[in-house]
A and B are shown apart, each in its own frame.
Chain A
Amino acid sequence: MIFFLSFVIFLIGLYCVVIKKNLLKIVMGIVIMEYAVNFFLVSLGYRKDGVAPIVTEGVKEAKFVDPLPQAMVLTAIVISIATLAFIVAMCIRIYQRYHTFDVTEIRKLKG
């Protein structure tokens, strides 16, 4: 059931990327899609009545949550700053060149 809800968030982000005309709204749609995918991956590894996968002293055997999706999501979250910075850098250059964020205007102008 949680997987359906995370997929709904992904679909909202996808709708925003396809429909909207403002360039910054499209960037926000991409950010929403990234949040949805990270949510889905971490919820894949949840174990019922599990604890965080960190060994403390004195505890012998504990039910640990799956640590593998958490490592992958950590990587994905850090990469998303770098790609967001790159996308926003390109948007700033586009604004400097065409003086608008409207996608239909940018498609029309040439040179």
Chain B
Amino acid sequence: MSPYRARKEGMTNIVKTISKFVVPPIILFGIYMVLHGHLTPGGGFPGGVIMASGFILLILSFGKEVTLKKLKVSTASILESTGALIFLCLAILGIPAGGWFFVNFLSKGYPLKIISAGIIPLANIGIGIKVMGGVFAVFFTLVVFRISAKR
């Protein structure tokens, strides 16, 4: 029997089985929405929140120990800081390349292709990573604290 089924905490077996199959497509959909932010509706912000909600589903259905093996809170904090640093570096790199802060210095490309629009896809990736790390870290802290505050 798989070790995930034998645990006492978390939800019932039906929820655990379904969320085992559903969480990878959710994270993949979040990555799709982040990468296609300049072509379809969406972008970095909803894509990052969708990626975080995949991990939140893991917390709610399996409990916190199993989820901590997949993504620790310290890793999520490091991811959040890395995303913010990527965004800031792209902004500062505009000064030597173009002339002023935040200039769009990569090539514009053909419209409606995925590699186009200069630095916009890279900035979307940075923001997606940042929002995912941040929302997951704050949700985990709120949930874990509530469990230990119950008397």
Contact = CB atoms under 8 A, between A and B. Distances in A.
Interface of A is mostly: helix
A68 interface: no
Nearest to A71: B43
Given A82-B134, A92-B145, A92-B146, A57 B45 contact: no
A15 interface: no
Among the interface residues B111, B135, B138, B139, which one has the most CB atoms of the partner chain A within 10 A? Answer: B138
A92 B111 contact: no
Interface residues of A, number: 15
Contact of B112 (A57, A78, A96): A57
Determine the interface band of chain B, counting residues with CB < 8 A from chain A.
10 to 19
Interface in B117-151: 131, 134-135, 138-139, 141-142, 145-146, 149
B26 to A, nearest CB: 18
Given A85-B142, A92-B145, A54 B41 contact: yes
B40 interface: yes
A93 to B, nearest CB: 9
A85 B146 contact: no
A54 B49 contact: no
A76 B40 CA distance: 20
Contacts of A74: 43, 45
B44 to A, nearest CB: 9
Given A55-B112, A57-B112, A85-B142, 13 more contacts: A52-B41, A54-B41, A74-B45, A78-B45, A78-B131, A81-B49, A82-B134, A85-B138, A85-B139, A88-B142, A89-B142, A92-B142, A95-B149
